[in-house]
Structure 1
Amino acid sequence: MILTLLLVSCATAALPAAEAKRPNILIILADDLGYSDLGCYGGEIPTPNIDALAKRGVRFTQVYNSARCCPSRAALMTGLYPTQAGIGDFTTAQPNPSRGPGYLGRLRDDCVTLAEVLKPAGYGCYYVGKWHLHNQTGPIRRGFDEFYGYTFDHSHDQYDADYYERLPAGRQKEINPPKDEFYATDVFNDYALEFIRQGQQSDKPWFLFLGHSSPHFPIQAPTERVDKYEATYQRGWDVLREERFERMKEIGLIDGDRWQLTPRSIVPVDRDDIANGYSGKENPAWDALPADRRGDLARRMAVFAAMVEGVDVGVGRIVNHLEATGDLDNTLIIFLTDNGACYEWGPFGFDGVSRVGTNTLRTGEELREIGQRGTHQAYGSGWANLGNTPFRLYKHFTHEGGISMPLIAHWPAGIGTPDVWVRQPGHMMDILPTLMEASGATYPTTFDNRAITPLEGTSLLPAMRGEALPQRQIGFDHQAAHALRDGDWKIVWSKRMPHKIEWELYNLAEDRCETNDLAAQEPERLKSMVAAWEAWAWRVGVHYDPAKAALSGDFSHVDRNFPIAKRSWTIEAEVDAKSPSGVVAAQGGNRHGYALHFVDGKPAFDVRVGGIVTRLISKQRYSGQVHLRAGLDKKVMMLQINDEPPFKIASPGLIPAQPFDELSLGHDVLTAAGDYEAPNPLQGSLRSFAIKHATP
């Protein structure tokens, strides 16, 4: 009898989660929270409630997002790479079809969401907060039963009560504080509890997605919450970065001496009115700034900290409710963030909805206006560099500072209370398969009679239980920033930097903070990994070239971020077409750049400076094999066709800044560098292309 009981007991313990009582599921997503902002990741911001979850669960050290808010949400929501889900860079009301289905700017029809997977498994599905996966593919349409929040924008005023909506249409708001008391983070927390209660009153397990907009700009928080943080941030980002780094060692996040605190990060190259005069320069030393500027900046960071506090208080209220109602132990809670801390735009941040050319320095009593009603401010790249301690760069970039995030999992009934660091790499797209394994839900091959893209992610549940995850490559791309992680090795391609941009190679096991580029020492490994990234990019739809059939040559050698700012250069191309039209090559966009293209068979060379296009165009149409040569220097811009005498006109001036849009061949991939409508694909065959620094 005793043996039988032991066997039954062991068999019960061995049951997979799907055969045990299915857990409730709570995903909490913070917005623009840096890698080290939480107390349990080394930050000085008090987050006792989130820290308590970490103390009874697991913390991951190298789980990645997709570098920016909506691509990360697309990966999290679907278990796919962002392009496979349709949001390769950003949501948009006017998608560019020739960029391919990876850039629809909304969720694709051939993917399924967390709710569309969990609802057929018997879950009630609830959503609170920021959606940002396009309102045409809103939460109710994509499987959620109840919603409160906003469905389109990347951010909104926390005090604007009328903006936030309750769905499905016709639902009355259960929570509707007076407008002068409304603060979105608090109301999101209230609605999280409201929907949990609704789920508990049903006969189903429940799934709640709490997508906070905090601490994304506009940084806003009630004054009384902000005041207590101001003295902390008067000490400055340099001291606080060093202190965070030491705490990361003390709590065991940093193991050994393989992490190094990086120098202050570079402010990305941009117009000086955007970059606060620090374009392409290192963030300034705190002590080098005037006292008034330090005061303004300290108040901004204090507002940011108060926003994080608001998220943490909500976590505490939810946990207390779950504990009081007996649901805490069998609720899988996952806390994570959507990208690295946000640098926009320079070290002083911005003021105003336009975000361009506006930075108001506040002093004295004016400091208390920061973050209050009617304001729209950011905290700047210096504080973002603190948020991403100890890594390089920020949101928008694929260095570790842009894509590394905290991830905490708490589920006593499913993983125990181990209080451990998990050091295996993962990605946001792994959340869906994790929830599937925990709940017993299955991933469909078809949905609403549509074929569904196979799942990309892998469950993190084994890692939470101390087991190994399968070896794999993880790819990254966001608006010309690229990366590939393969085991301990990573390649990364940056953007908007003052130095020459090329592939970098790092051994993250020895150099997690990317301080020792091994590209020159490991050329074969670099070449192999670059080829793997290219293959990945084609497979998942990062590369979708309507002119690919026209690219008949080998263009792997072409530097897509060739430095053209303040330099003289020439380009050459060989085209073969019966009646050519469209873009041969374009670099840059609607501010600065150039385009070599055909207009009804006539070769044309456009140079755009400050948004204004200067054009050289042939009077004659060409067909067959056409050799084109064009160039720009301070005095002339030139276009030569075959061996004929070149056309020359006065130069509009050198390109004043390195364009954001990288070089594209056979079409113009982002905004139009020339006077045409992008992408304007080439009708013909591009056989060769070269660009070099030279006087035309």
Structure 2
Amino acid sequence: MNWLLSFRTRLLLLLAFVAMIPVSSHAAEKPKQPNIILILADDLGFSDLGCYGGEISTPHIDALAADGVKFTQVYNSARCCPSRASLMTGLYPTQAGIGDFTTNKPDKNRGQGYLGRLRDDCVTIAEVLKPAGYGCYYVGKWHMHPDTGPIKRGFDEFYGYTRDHSHDQYDADYYIRLPEAHPKEIDPPVDEFYATDEFNQYALEFIRQGQQTDKPWFLFLGHSSPHFPVQAPAERADKYDAIYQRGWDVLRTARYERMKKLGIIDGDRWSLTPRSMVPVDRDDIANGFPGDENPAWDSLDADRQADLARRMAVFAAMVEGVDTGVGQIVDHLQQTDDLHNTLILFLSDNGACYEWGPFGFDGVSRRGETILRTGDELREIGGRGTHQSYGSAWANLGNTPLRMYKHFTNEGGINTPFIAHWPAGIQKRDDWIRQPAHLMDVLPTLMDVAGAQYPQQFDGRSIQPTEGTSLMPAIRGEQLPERIIGFDHQAAHALRDGDWKIVFGKRMPYELKWELYNLADDRCETNDLAAKHPERLESMIEAWETWANRVGVTWTTVVPPNEVSADAVDSPPIANQELKLNADVRGASLHGVVIAQGGNQHGYALHFVDGRPAFDVRVNGQVQRLISDQNVSGRVRLEATLTADTMTLAVNRGEPLKTTSPGLIPVQPVDGLSIGFDHRSAAGDYQSPNPLSGELIKHSIATYKANSILTKE
């Protein structure tokens, strides 16, 4: 018996000793899946956050950056809904179905890339994470079309809005809870409602709901702040008045110097660019500065300065409201012991928004002259029922020191601040991660940390392979795979290949052509190397076209004409004038606008309909069309004329088609001249922008009166 007890004792001691031996890494328990929070700001500029050099108070976001990692070259898709589509699916916008904007009337000739909603052959973050065991929640702005809304595309709970790009922050009835059977858990009195605050509170509500389950959870917090209308309670904006009364010139220089100290600006490779130009548009839209540089602050009178300073103060208060919500979320996670194993990502959907000119707009219609508010009216800016923007010059500040803004594929339009914080999985880094990345990399990154698998089939449908790549190697200090990154947004194009980038602009008062930059030496695109490296330029243009064809982009390339031709930004006077239009076009499958001037009341358009040349003239809202029965391709010569009695259209110098004219265009159209697409309301019988699917080689426009040329191109 003593021997038996001794044996048992020795056996227990041995088992206890074995239990103390560390298990090998191969046999270790799989790490627990992290909770995930993705916070997306709307129209936040590259340098608006304090941790990126801005003067806006963002202490909670700054703290995430200080204890996590931060990137300097994460790209977006130049505008809110294409960027969201890319972020949500791991694809380029056209592959996701939202190549330029959401719409209820997609142009069938542009293909699946321009459905204006999410395609059926892609999957969302929620549709990928749910099979991996995640509960999925969405708060805020959706903007990927209500027909492919959050509940339909994998999310369990939603609060926010699914229609349109923006809305009044004080309009409580506009914001909805989905699924529809679920009542609102948070429903403040109408006079206390402010959307940014409610989004923050619903983020906390959904986090609590996720924590009550036995599953990891994913929260997408898609703020509409600080997108216009710039709105915030007046007392929140007051603290910023004195700051912004210093003006954008002083503040741009101050941001630039802070960015140097923070290490964002790498040596001499970043130059503070001149003030960016105001895009060419109607004079009222551009506030009298179409094609001009944004004005110097000191050139403005005191009343204008006060009005503009208040607009920017309201914008800053919106950004601070987003930061307040981040602080509330972090505090809750700390109190519930979930911060350590929660991955938090913070980013923006595009560069700061220029709309419209340096004075912005005022009023829901956004038509006509900007209202100048003075005296006691200043504190009304950003109040209930207002609809204002802060304008292109403040947007230029927001993107310091980069060129241009949202809508453009210059660095100022497509760069986002990007912060990742995950104490359990990401080691704090004091440096800046400078490898190029894109919003389409977020989904693969989340798959990487969650152990999720990307499907080849989903709900009985074949799914496109993902385009993005996980950013976890870059976060760990390793190199991402070599690749090109392509960009296209409504006639603005770009391609990034290593340190080299080509970019094609739009709506500028000079000859538009491909530009070439070495971003390793010139991050701010100040030294165009196209003339110095023509072979590299041509090879990268060819690479962009190959990329564009692969991902389903339709575009027009305007080659500088070799004869007298229309300036793509000047709009010839056409009221009561006879017209003569000439254009040479090349393409295999031609569709879309060659030349258009005017809009939905008066104007004309020379265009293609399924390969057939057409000439539309609109008078008093009604369109008269002359269309060829020839389906043409290759190089095509078009000639069209309009007189008081007759419209004609000749194809390849053949016998012209003729029909009765609706008369001369009686007034100068509000909408200006568009080349290769119709950039505002449709002058012809089609849906704008209706871009040309081929190449416009040359074009000319002439107007006549009494058989004498009055205006040329």
Q: Name the TM tier (shorter chain).
A: 0.7 to 0.9
The residue number in structure 2 matching 1:551 is none
Deviation at 1:109, TM superposition (A): 0.6
The alignment partner of 2:418 has SS state of strand
Matched, 1:590 2:596: no
1:469 to 1:285, Cα distance in 2 relative to 1, 3 A: same
1:379 to 1:670, Cα distance in 2 relative to 1, 3 A: closer
1:543 to 531, 548, 554: 554
1:145 to 152, 156, 167: 156
The residue number in structure 2 matching 1:28 is 39
1-structure distance, mates of 2:666, 2:274: 35
Where does 1:64-75 land on structure 2 (aligned, <5 Å)? 64-75=75-86
Deviation at 1:334, TM superposition (A): 0.3
Contact 1:34 1:405 in 2 (8 A): yes
Amino acid at match of 1:405: T
CA distances 1:118-151 after superposition (whole Å, capped 9, x unpaired): 0000000001111111111111110001111111
Where does 1:69-468 land on structure 2 (aligned, <5 Å)? 69-468=80-479
1-structure distance, mates of 2:411, 2:609: 43
The residue number in structure 1 matching 2:707 is none
The residue number in structure 2 matching 1:549 is none
Deviation at 1:8, TM superposition (A): 3.9
Largest Rg, 1 or 2: 2
1:159 to 1:586, Cα distance in 2 relative to 1, 3 A: same
The alignment partner of 2:289 has SS state of coil
The alignment partner of 1:420 has SS state of coil
2-structure distance, mates of 1:247, 1:681: 42
1:12 to 1:185, Cα distance in 2 relative to 1, 3 A: farther
1:361 to 1:624, Cα distance in 2 relative to 1, 3 A: closer
TM-score normalized with structure 1 length: 0.88
Deviation at 1:646, TM superposition (A): 11
Percentage of pairs with the same residue: 67
Contact 2:71 2:432 in 1 (8 A): yes
1:191 to 1:605, Cα distance in 2 relative to 1, 3 A: closer
Further displaced range: 159-168 or 401-410? 159-168
Contact 1:588 1:663 in 2 (8 A): no
- In the alignment, structure 2 segments of 5+ residues that lack a partner are 1-13, 573-578, 703-711
2-structure distance, mates of 1:270, 1:246: 33
Contact 2:171 2:193 in 1 (8 A): yes
Amino acid at match of 2:178: L
Amino acid at match of 1:674: G
Matched, 1:563 2:556: no
2-structure distance, mates of 1:427, 1:288: 39
2-structure distance, mates of 1:681, 1:488: 30
2-structure distance, mates of 1:688, 1:338: 32
The residue number in structure 1 matching 2:639 is 630
2-structure distance, mates of 1:258, 1:450: 47
Contact 1:57 1:420 in 2 (8 A): no
2-structure distance, mates of 1:493, 1:282: 19
CA distances 1:635-689 after superposition (whole Å, capped 9, x unpaired): 999865636699999985999899575426xxx899644356779999xx99996
1-structure distance, mates of 2:381, 2:694: 54
Contact 1:571 1:689 in 2 (8 A): no
Contact 1:54 1:419 in 2 (8 A): no
2:676 to 647, 657, 663: 663
2-structure distance, mates of 1:54, 1:621: 62
Contact 1:609 1:656 in 2 (8 A): no
The residue number in structure 2 matching 1:691 is 699
Amino acid at match of 1:455: T
The alignment partner of 1:60 has SS state of strand
The residue number in structure 2 matching 1:674 is 684
Amino acid at match of 2:684: G
1:576 to 1:401, Cα distance in 2 relative to 1, 3 A: closer
1:190 to 1:597, Cα distance in 2 relative to 1, 3 A: closer
CA distances 1:239-268 after superposition (whole Å, capped 9, x unpaired): 000000000000000110010000001010
Contact 2:511 2:560 in 1 (8 A): no
Matched, 1:521 2:532: yes
1:634 to 1:494, Cα distance in 2 relative to 1, 3 A: farther
The residue number in structure 2 matching 1:531 is 542
1:83 to 1:662, Cα distance in 2 relative to 1, 3 A: farther
Query: Aligned-residue CA RMSD in angstroms?
Result: 3.9
CA distances 1:46-94 after superposition (whole Å, capped 9, x unpaired): 1100000000111100000000011000000000001111111111122
Deviation at 1:505, TM superposition (A): 0.7
2-structure distance, mates of 1:387, 1:235: 15
1:331 to 1:629, Cα distance in 2 relative to 1, 3 A: closer
Further displaced range: 410-419 or 2-11? 2-11
Contact 2:558 2:695 in 1 (8 A): no
1:558 to 1:127, Cα distance in 2 relative to 1, 3 A: same
The residue number in structure 1 matching 2:516 is 505
The alignment partner of 2:307 has SS state of helix
Amino acid at match of 1:131: W
Contact 2:72 2:264 in 1 (8 A): yes
Further displaced range: 155-164 or 560-569? 560-569
2-structure distance, mates of 1:382, 1:634: 43
TM-score normalized with structure 2 length: 0.86
Deviation at 1:420, TM superposition (A): 2.7
Deviation at 1:594, TM superposition (A): 5.2
1:197 to 1:643, Cα distance in 2 relative to 1, 3 A: closer
2-structure distance, mates of 1:687, 1:55: 49
Deviation at 1:223, TM superposition (A): 1.2
2-structure distance, mates of 1:645, 1:199: 69
2-structure distance, mates of 1:277, 1:120: 54
1:584 to 1:401, Cα distance in 2 relative to 1, 3 A: closer
1-structure distance, mates of 2:244, 2:643: 46
The alignment partner of 1:422 has SS state of coil
1-structure distance, mates of 2:609, 2:210: 61
Contact 1:630 1:637 in 2 (8 A): no
The residue number in structure 2 matching 1:52 is 63
Contact 1:79 1:431 in 2 (8 A): yes
Aligned residues: 674
The alignment partner of 1:412 has SS state of coil
Deviation at 1:172, TM superposition (A): 1.3
Amino acid at match of 1:377: Q
1:614 to 1:260, Cα distance in 2 relative to 1, 3 A: farther
CA distances 1:555-577 after superposition (whole Å, capped 9, x unpaired): 99577997343569852559999
- In the alignment, structure 1 segments of 5+ residues that lack a partner are 546-554
Contact 2:241 2:310 in 1 (8 A): yes
1:239 to 1:82, Cα distance in 2 relative to 1, 3 A: same
Deviation at 1:691, TM superposition (A): 2.7
Amino acid at match of 2:599: N
Further displaced range: 24-33 or 415-424? 415-424
Matched, 1:471 2:482: yes
Amino acid at match of 2:567: P
Amino acid at match of 1:691: H
Contact 1:566 1:657 in 2 (8 A): no
The residue number in structure 1 matching 2:493 is 482
Deviation at 1:608, TM superposition (A): 6.7
The alignment partner of 2:32 has SS state of coil
